[in-house]
Amino acid sequence: MPQPEPFRNRSAPLIALVGADGSGKTTVGQELLEWLQTMRPTAFCHLGKQTGNWGRAIARMPFVGRKLDKQVIARSSKARDEKGAGATVSIVIFALSMRRVFRFLRMRRLHRKGFMILTDRYPQAVVPGPMDGPGLVARNPKGMIARFLTGREQALYDWMASYKPDIVIRLNVDLETALKRKPDHRPASLERKVRDVPRLSFNGAPILDLDSREPLDQVIGKAKAAILDVIARYDQATAK
């Protein structure tokens, strides 16, 4: 893993924790946050849209849940085909991406104030889809509104991705393990996330790949060692 120098315009590190559902992000993130807060002011920022929670809540609704869930899946599939989503669906997807943008702006404000940042998820602009990429997946949609919103959304993700983390901790997991940990998730959606995670480059940011099937203390130990190295580089830069 490359070890670049700290960003000159930053006073504290930005650490991104990424991985598919079932990779252990929540558990690892909680452990790391408690540890980091013993060293310096640290803010935890969730940079996802969290739409999956809504979908699972809809599916559990009595009587109508399954029907509504199937409609959501059908519309999501339409948004991914070559023609793309219609105007209404495109507007909804774009609005959900704006939720991530607002969270990202809050994170930037905290970082400018000098907080060390630990994020759950991080926006990336290269792989469209559920793994923190643009939601309007079709690159050349048919409708004028969909085309406009696709271009605007891509520009927003390009902008967010340009603010690179000092280190990305990527938790890798296989589909079988992820499904055991998240039995309420749609297998097809989870399969795509597991497949997409290794493809994410985060604009060239240093990436520490960890196997989340290993014992938790080993995973956390490796993550802490990498983070300590990043912090030490910032301390050295401040001391100069």
Give the separation between CA 146 and CA 135, rounded to whole angstroms.
12
pLDDT value of position 237: 85
> How are beta strands 167-172 and 207-211 bridged, if at all?
parallel
The domain that holds 105 is classified in CATH as: 3.40.50.300
Percent residues over pLDDT 90 in the chain: 68
pLDDT at position 49 is: 83
Question: According to the model, what pLDDT value does residue 55 have?
Answer: 44
Q: How many domains is the chain partitioned into structurally? A: 1
**What is the pLDDT, as a whole number, of residue 1?**
67
Which pLDDT tens digit goes with each residue over 152-183?
999 999 999 999 999 999 999 999 999 999 99
Any domain includes 44: yes
Has residue 8 been placed in a domain? no
**pTM for this predicted structure:** 0.86
Q: List all residues 6 or more positions away from 91 whose beta carbon is below 8 Å from its beta carbon.
A: 145, 149
Examine residue 5 and state whether it is found in any structural domain, yes or no: no
* pLDDT confidence of residue 2: 63
* 9 is a domain residue: no
Distance CA 220, CA 211 (A): 11
Q: Is residue 54 part of a domain?
A: yes
The pLDDT confidence band at residue 149, using thresholds 50, 70 and 90, is: very high
pLDDT tens readout for residues 45-89: 999 986 654 444 434 445 434 554 455 445 555 555 556 678 888
Domain extent at residue 30: 14-239
Q: Residue 12 pLDDT more than 50?
A: yes
Long-range contacts (CB closer than 8 Å, 24 or more residues apart) made by 147-151: 147/84, 149/90, 149/91, 149/93, 149/94, 150/84, 150/90
The arithmetic mean of pLDDT across residues 187-195, rounded, is 94
Give the helix/strand (H/E) hosting 120: strand 116-120
127 within some domain: yes
* Residue 4 maps to a domain: no
> Residue 68's pLDDT is what?
44
Is 173 within a domain? Answer: yes
208-226 tens-digit pLDDT:
999 999 999 999 999 999 9
Whether the per-residue pLDDT at 135 is higher than 50: the answer is yes
Tell me the range of 14-28, 69-83, 141-155 where mean pLDDT is highest.
14-28
